[in-house]
Structure 1
Amino acid sequence: MMKVLVVDDSRTMRVIIMKTLAQLGIKDVVEAGDGKIALDLFKSAKFDAVLSDWNMPVMTGLEFLKELRQINKTIPFIMITTEAERGNVITAIQAGVTDYVVKPFSQDVLRKKLEQRISSLV
């Protein structure tokens, strides 16, 4: 059974992502409203993938990604963000992001990215 950590300061966005995951048969989902909470959760439980927003209070998705990569270098980490600027994409790639989804996105786009990156884990 796959376990996914969903991180976004928008409750609505977390619900949309969780619905998409459910359509893929992934029901074991833990949610966090910022990177700090997510990092604490990540340290206390085992996850198979992380889906995180970039712009959040307390700890951004990029800061969270950098901290997480100190702990786990291989877990699939998909950044979901409005930050489509090339420089930001490059920064995220250098920090170890697995893939990138730009908001607003259709559930179909997210589903395809998830299937590409984590379907082998399901």
Structure 2
Amino acid sequence: MTHKLLVADDEPNIVISLEYLMKREGYEVLVATDGHQALETIQREKPALVLLDVMMPGKTGFEVCQAVRADPALANVRVLMLTAKGRDTDISKGLALGANAYMIKPFSTRELVEKVAELLEGGA
């Protein structure tokens, strides 16, 4: 079975590169460019994993993550926060709100691919 992923980021270059990378790895990829669109897509499509940017228009990634974790129907959705906000307090906040993992931009594509595979196999 092909896993469905959502790339939620407002930066077009990041969306294009993540979409390409994840499709190359064999995943079905959905895209959202703001927080409201991300949450609507998660609720409608129930992707296996969300690559979630923190700083987005509409709702922040933190707000989206919190809403996902508050919805029992979305309990199986894994959240990997991708952000330039790398302070310890930001990482702690993301994990406290229910993110399964947190990666700081810029990140290596190899590390990202490995982390996505690990999360989809039920790790971390």
What TM-score, normalized by structure 2, do the two folds share?
A: 0.89
Q: How far apart are residue 2 of structure 1 and its match?
A: 1.2
Percent identical: 27
What TM-score, normalized by structure 1, do the two folds share?
A: 0.90
Q: 5+ residue gaps in structure 2?
A: none
Q: 5+ residue gaps in structure 1?
A: none
Alignment partner of 1:78 is 2:83: no
CA RMSD of aligned residues (A): 1.3
Q: Provide the rounded CA distance (Å) in 2 between the counterparts of 1:3 and 1:49.
A: 7
Q: How far apart are residue 5 of structure 1 and its match?
A: 1.0
Aligned residues: 119
For 1:102, which of 101, 104, 120 is the aligned residue? 104
Q: Provide the rounded CA distance (Å) in 2 between the counterparts of 1:75 and 1:45.
A: 10
Q: How far apart are residue 119 of structure 1 and its match?
A: 4.3
Amino acid at match of 1:87: T
The list of structure 1 runs, each at least 4 consecutive aligned residues, that deviate by more than 2 angstroms after superposition, is none
Q: How far apart are residue 73 of structure 1 and its match?
A: 3.0
Q: Provide the rounded CA distance (Å) in 2 between the counterparts of 1:16 and 1:49.
A: 17
| Structure with larger RCO (C-alpha < 8 A, sep 6+) | 1
Q: Provide the rounded CA distance (Å) in 2 between the counterparts of 1:63 and 1:13.
A: 20
